[in-house]
Chains A and B, each alone.
Chain A
């Protein structure tokens, strides 16, 4: 009995706290639903976009380079995570770890060079669409393009 109360007692305040939070939140929503005034004017219905009136359609086609950016982020983020772990133990890990890190970064650099050559860094829709054009020209065009027009 004694150890059971010892088990329950630290959880009891937490449960009470949780119940109180749920009660207050529900109370706020329900009270404002009944007590709050309701206005059905035009500006209250559209989605809130930082105070300005929304422009354009929501049905836009995002370019695939969004996923490319995500992939680049993953690559560099992971690289950074490994390098941090190595850097804090630089002295203890010694030269063999230094060489291993050089190999690791070297492989990633080779991959980056390949992606660069493949045009993965030329963000923007027109750069991807016209692959046969010279790369400098198409990347300049890309800056002028709006993503939503794609």
Chain B
């Protein structure tokens, strides 16, 4: 372990040190502020050192980790989203008895796992990253442990996730039994070969199903709505952004060689997963009355859109998929920041709760409306640009079934996204005002947390900026991913 390697590992070291420092801070000071400060500083230091490493990439640190432009981009995305979630948790837990210290700890550990996933180049480091990320995510989902819904979310995430990990490990064992290699470079060489053995195909499909579970692709999506609904809002934001971004990074790194020619079983399964996710996600969201469940089902559909770009098998496809993941992460963070900011003792999550929001809090309602439009893919938002790139990649590669599915299913999606916007801009129902009583009214007039507003405002500004002027970000991604 020489100095050069330590330099390359500096983002990981920053986050790991921050998690230990949070533990020590929790023992030294009674207040919650030092732990939050250390979390934000640690994630910021990780982000800064990720940026500083761009000049040094690509470089392999031990056979386990490969630091290249691709992994650095996804690490940076993961860290930025995590920073947003940490800011949200400040305001969220300020109004609760339960402190945010352990939340910060799990957040940091899970972020570290996500970074390892995004940088892994070997089965061992991939598994280690996935387990570390999961070990942080289960307690995050169950963090509000005095509410049964949160416990339910934790269990519903833990049990299927363990099964998915078992599939993944079994698949790795089969790949190793057939080929005798465990590093991604050698497996990519097998993927480019014209024919694959049956054992190899089965192994790869099992690995794919494990990854599809983490991305909540149909038919591995059953845990998603309950986990999104039951988890505390910042934890939901974490599941929606960080864990998705890391696994998409892995998926594109690991499975890209198998999509060059669409004749093998892996590419065919990815096609089926993409089409099923786009339709099932959008159709299941139509009748939902809960905002978090709507976002959960929409995340299923959006991961299907990402797969469309990825399955083009071209450089433009990879860049578009990366852009789309970035766009989705910004939008989901913006939408869930609103849910997190508006929640007081009870989570603000049903459509009835936000009725007439535009009259009470015009700015928050506007940002939430913009986020919904970005999810729907309406122009001047980053979601529209992302969808535009995905469609152009699809048309360029002539993957017509996927392209048509995307167009039809996103048209279906318009209904439930705009429904949320309409509810916010309607007059509040007089009967519900009376039922809500003085406590709800007090909640409506209280000031929103400043840290949370910073996260929401940044996400909102980026959402509109990249929607109006997407060129620099697209060129940056093309440069990072291409290098």
**Mask: chain A, 79-107; 1 = CB below 8 Å from B; 0 = not:** 00000000000000000100010000001
Chain B residues with Cβ below 8 Å from A107 are 20
Q: Is the CB of B20 within 8 A of A110?
A: yes
**Mask: chain B, 20-40; 1 = CB below 8 Å from A; 0 = not:** 100110110000000000000
Q: Is the CB of A117 within 8 A of B26?
A: yes
Chain A residues with Cβ below 8 Å from B1 are 96, 100
A-B pairs with beta carbons under 8 A, tally: 17
A113 interfacial by beta-carbon distance below 8 Å: yes
**Mask: chain B, 251-267; 1 = CB below 8 Å from A; 0 = not:** 00000000000000000
Chain A residues with Cβ below 8 Å from B27 are 113-114, 116-117
Whole-angstrom CA separation of A117 from B23 in the bound complex: 10
Secondary structure at the A interface, as helix, strand, loop or mixed, is helix
**Mask: chain B, 182-206; 1 = CB below 8 Å from A; 0 = not:** 0000000000000000000000000
Whole-angstrom CA separation of A107 from B17 in the bound complex: 9
Chain A residues with Cβ below 8 Å from B23 are 110-111, 113-114
Secondary structure at the B interface, as helix, strand, loop or mixed, is helix
CB-contacts of A104-132 with B (<8 A): 107, 110-111, 113-114, 116-117
Whole-angstrom CA separation of A149 from B4 in the bound complex: 59
How near does chain B come to A93, taking the closest CB pair, in angstroms? 12
Whole-angstrom CA separation of A113 from B26 in the bound complex: 10
Chain B residues with Cβ below 8 Å from A100 are 1
Interface size class of B (residues with CB under 8 A): under 10
CB-contacts of B1-58 with A (<8 A): 1, 20, 23-24, 26-27
Chain B residues with Cβ below 8 Å from A96 are 1
Chain B residues with Cβ below 8 Å from A111 are 23
Chain A residues with Cβ below 8 Å from B26 are 114, 117
Q: Please give the number of chain A residues whose Cβ is less than 8 angstroms from any Cβ of chain B in the complex.
A: 9
**Mask: chain B, 337-354; 1 = CB below 8 Å from A; 0 = not:** 000000000000000000
Chain A residues with Cβ below 8 Å from B20 are 107, 110
Among A96, A110, A111, A114, the one with the most B-chain Cβ atoms within 10 Å of its Cβ is A114
How near does chain A come to B131, taking the closest CB pair, in angstroms? 15
Chain B residues with Cβ below 8 Å from A110 are 20, 23-24
Residue of A whose beta carbon sits closest to that of B28: A117
How near does chain A come to B365, taking the closest CB pair, in angstroms? 41
Residue of B whose beta carbon sits closest to that of A113: B27
Whole-angstrom CA separation of A117 from B22 in the bound complex: 13
Whole-angstrom CA separation of A51 from B27 in the bound complex: 48
Residue of B whose beta carbon sits closest to that of A100: B1
How near does chain B come to A95, taking the closest CB pair, in angstroms? 11
How near does chain A come to B102, taking the closest CB pair, in angstroms? 9
How near does chain A come to B32, taking the closest CB pair, in angstroms? 14
Whole-angstrom CA separation of A100 from B24 in the bound complex: 20
Whole-angstrom CA separation of A107 from B20 in the bound complex: 7
How near does chain B come to A59, taking the closest CB pair, in angstroms? 25
How near does chain B come to A132, taking the closest CB pair, in angstroms? 12
**Mask: chain B, 433-459; 1 = CB below 8 Å from A; 0 = not:** 000000000000000000000000000
CB-contacts of A3-19 with B (<8 A): none
Chain B residues with Cβ below 8 Å from A114 are 23-24, 26-27
How near does chain A come to B192, taking the closest CB pair, in angstroms? 37
CB-contacts of B85-118 with A (<8 A): none
Chain A residues with Cβ below 8 Å from B24 are 110, 113-114
Whole-angstrom CA separation of A28 from B20 in the bound complex: 60
How near does chain A come to B189, taking the closest CB pair, in angstroms? 33
How near does chain A come to B41, taking the closest CB pair, in angstroms? 17
Whole-angstrom CA separation of A118 from B124 in the bound complex: 33
Residue of A whose beta carbon sits closest to that of B105: A114
Whole-angstrom CA separation of A107 from B18 in the bound complex: 12
Chain B residues with Cβ below 8 Å from A113 are 23-24, 27
Whole-angstrom CA separation of A45 from B270 in the bound complex: 63
Chain B residues with Cβ below 8 Å from A116 are 27
Whole-angstrom CA separation of A107 from B23 in the bound complex: 10
Residue of A whose beta carbon sits closest to that of B25: A114
Whole-angstrom CA separation of A114 from B27 in the bound complex: 6
Whole-angstrom CA separation of A51 from B23 in the bound complex: 49
How near does chain B come to A135, taking the closest CB pair, in angstroms? 13
Whole-angstrom CA separation of A111 from B20 in the bound complex: 8
Residue contacts A-B, CB under 8 angstroms, 5 given:
A96-B1, A110-B23, A111-B23, A113-B23, A117-B27
Besides A96-B1, A110-B23, 15 more A-B contacts (Cβ < 8 Å) are A100-B1, A107-B20, A110-B20, A110-B24, A111-B23, A113-B23, A113-B24, A113-B27, A114-B23, A114-B24, A114-B26, A114-B27, A116-B27, A117-B26, A117-B27
Which 7 pairs from chain A and chain B are nearest by CB?
A117-B27, A114-B23, A110-B20, A110-B23, A113-B27, A110-B24, A114-B27
